Amino acid sequence: MMAEAEETEFSLMSLEDELTCSICLSTFDCPVTIPCGHNFCQDCLLATWKGSYSCPQCRTLFATKPELKKNTVLSTVVETFRVKASKSEGGAASKPEKKKKKDVVRCDTCMEADATHTCLTCMASFCEEHLRPHRENPIFRLHQLTLPVGDLMERICTDHHKLMELFCIPHQRPICTLCLQQVHKGCSFMSPEEQRSKKESDLRDQLVFLDGKLSKNEAVLSQMRTTQNKLKESAIHRKRSVSAGYQQMRDMLTKEEAEALRVIDKEVETGETKIRGLIIKFSENVDNISKAKEEIHCLLGQSQTLAFLQTSFNLPQAVSYEPYTPRINLDSKKVVQSEAFTLTLKNYLMELFKHPVEARIPKLIADINTGTYAAELTFPPAISRLPRSHSPGPQVKPALKKKPQKAIKIPSLNTENIPGNKKLGKSIENLLEFGVKDKPRGRPAAAENKETPVTETSDIPAEISSAEKRSELMKYGTVLTFDLRTAHKRIELSENLTKASVSDEHTNYPDCLERFAVCSQVLASKGFSVGRHYWEVRLSSNNFIGVGLAYRSIDRKGPTSRLGRNDKSWCVEWFNVKLSAWHNSSETVLANPNPKRVGVLLDCEEGKATFYNVADRAYPFHSFSFQFAEAVYPAFWIFSSGSYITLCKLQ
């Protein structure tokens, strides 16, 4: 057993050397391994890394701070060593004794007993027995006694071999009395005890300062953790709010989709019901006509002439009705508007989503306030140019006489409950007008039982009874070109600045103050303030196009820069199939002559601008009267993609 215990003690002693940190010379505490293979305590290693990263043992330099990972195997061995070392009584008792021996100060006289005091005058340490002369002999009464000092030689001045009993304040070092008379002559000084007391006071003040800083940092950390938690909670609430909003929009769109599909189904059902009724009626007519044919064949087969002549035959009433195929489709106003609204809303959202999130709300509010959001959309060609046809709904009674066309009345809308500006109602009215068809032409009463072609009425409004000779207007003809500096970037000018086309792609025009930035508009390069002037323009289509006049000072950048939506411009505007006259955001709905060429006569002396439908003659369809405040310029608005306006050469 003794041999086994000695072997265990030997193995523990050899293991202790391997498990000692080369920095603190103690057993490893949380050992870590660096790339060069050496192990150190984590705290010891981090304390040596200040500015550069190198191995304290082999001096290997690392370019970046190595990633430290705990050496789990070494940690297990260290723990095992500590457990075994605590069980070994001999090893545990010997080390404290060694440390105690190192700390014990022996008597300089007998060299055996422990010293109880050190005489700084004699520069020696004494036990209680050999200290008796200092206590009993009056000669030693002035000697300075203190507690045992182990590093007594470190207190001796190396230059004068005297006790360094003073402390030089400027040089911050202990000195002897001879140093004060020679090298440190004139320096302020104090006793080491006073210097210690002062230094202890400074350190305590620093402790108080550090405690204050520590408290503030801990308070800030606590606030940041609280803010972090609040941030997470706020994110959760915001996500719920956003998700709820989008879910409500999805629910509304689902409901609207179901309603639109229901409208189409109802139209289909109405059309099928009408077709079934007509099929029954015409089937009965076919049966009656077939029976009449059989009777005629029987009469033709009669051999007796007298009996044949005495037999009478009348045609059935069915032959008085001329058969016709009803024109029934799904182009009713409600179906077309449902489809148009769907595509319009989709296009508007696509246009809105092109903007960054922070710019969407201002654009939405601006569009609602100015009432331009419906007009500034590009409608699909299939909706913009729907064919004129009858719907399966109620039919208009045939007209007996040709009556003058009346202005289309916009149904009044209750916009009081709609948030935002009241102008939103007018924009909604514009949407409702989208897809409206002209009233179906009636057939004369005498032609009800005959299959005759429908006679279309003239495009010229009936209330205009007089027309002017075009040659009379040509006397005031003027040559115009478009002003490139004012053209919106969607408008492309060609044919020597006489043709303006619009597309979805932007032209790379240079930015300038005169250019329209919001509405796709352009001014002519020439303005007028005196005399009479006449010009003509050719329109590609009567769909989302405006022709008018504007002062040079018209707004170019804001939402009110649209022609007729301010007090500095006048225009006639085709919005889908509706023709309106606009000035200062006031709209007057006009009868639409659907002109291909429009003439404008500007009389500066009378303050009047007249718009003509130019055909074989010039038929006026609207006039503006106003007092000139400055020169006016021909102005044009083109929105529907692919449309264009051409300034005509007057001949």
What pLDDT was estimated at residue 4?
53
The band of 3, judged by pLDDT with boundaries at 50, 70 and 90, is low
The residue type found at 116 is T
Nearby residues of 154 by Cβ (< 8 Å), 6 or more positions away: none
Residue 283 and residue 275 in contact, taking contact as beta carbons nearer than 8 Å: no
DSSP code, position 156: B
- Alpha helices, H only, 38-156: 42-48, 72-87, 89-103, 132-136
Q: Is 160 helix (H, G, I), strand (E, B) or coil?
A: coil
Closest CA to 324 of 483, 451, 170: 451
- The confidence band for 100, taking pLDDT boundaries of 50, 70 and 90, is very low
pLDDT of res. 103: 62
Q: Does domain 470-647 have CATH number 3.40.50.1980?
A: no
Give me the mean pLDDT over the 20-49 stretch. Answer: 87
* Structure confidence by residue, pLDDT tens digits, 365-410: 887 777 654 444 444 444 444 443 334 444 433 333 444 443 333 3
Task: Please identify, in words, the CATH class of the domain defined by 2-103.
Answer: alpha beta
Where are the chain's structural domains? 2-103, 470-647
CA atoms within 13 A on the CB side of 444: 11
**How confident is the model over 109-152, as pLDDT tens digits?**
877 788 888 887 787 888 988 888 888 888 888 887 888 877 66
Residue 450 confidence (pLDDT) above 90: no
Cβ atoms 637, 574 nearer than 8 A:
no
Give the model's pLDDT for residue 78: 83
Per-residue confidence band for 282, with pLDDT thresholds at 50, 70 and 90:
confident
Tell me the pLDDT band of 85, cut-offs 50, 70 and 90. Answer: confident
Please report, for the chain, how many H helices and E strands are present, in that order. 13, 24
Under 8 Å between Cβ of 647 and 537:
yes
State whether the Cα torsion 111-116-118-122 is positive or negative: negative
Per cent of the chain over pLDDT 70 is: 79
For residue 84, name the pLDDT band (cuts at 50, 70, 90).
confident
Q: Is residue 316 within 8 Å of residue 289, measured between CB atoms?
A: yes
**Span 47-69, pLDDT tens digits:** 888 778 889 888 888 888 888 87
Kindly tell me if the per-residue pLDDT of 99 is higher than 80. Answer: no
C-alpha 162/C-alpha 159 separation (Å) is: 8
Count of beta carbons in the 10 Å neighbourhood of residue 36: 14
Name the residue among 484, 518, 516, 489 with its Cα closest to residue 503. 489
pLDDT band at 169 (very low <50, low <70, confident <90, very high): confident
pLDDT at position 385 = 42
- Return the SS3 of 423: helix
Q: What is the pLDDT of residue 454?
A: 31
- Residue 468 in this model has a pLDDT that exceeds 60: yes
Strand duo 532-539 + 644-647: pairing: antiparallel
Of 480, 471, 507, nearest in space to 646 by CA: 480
Joined tokens for residue 575: 């919005």
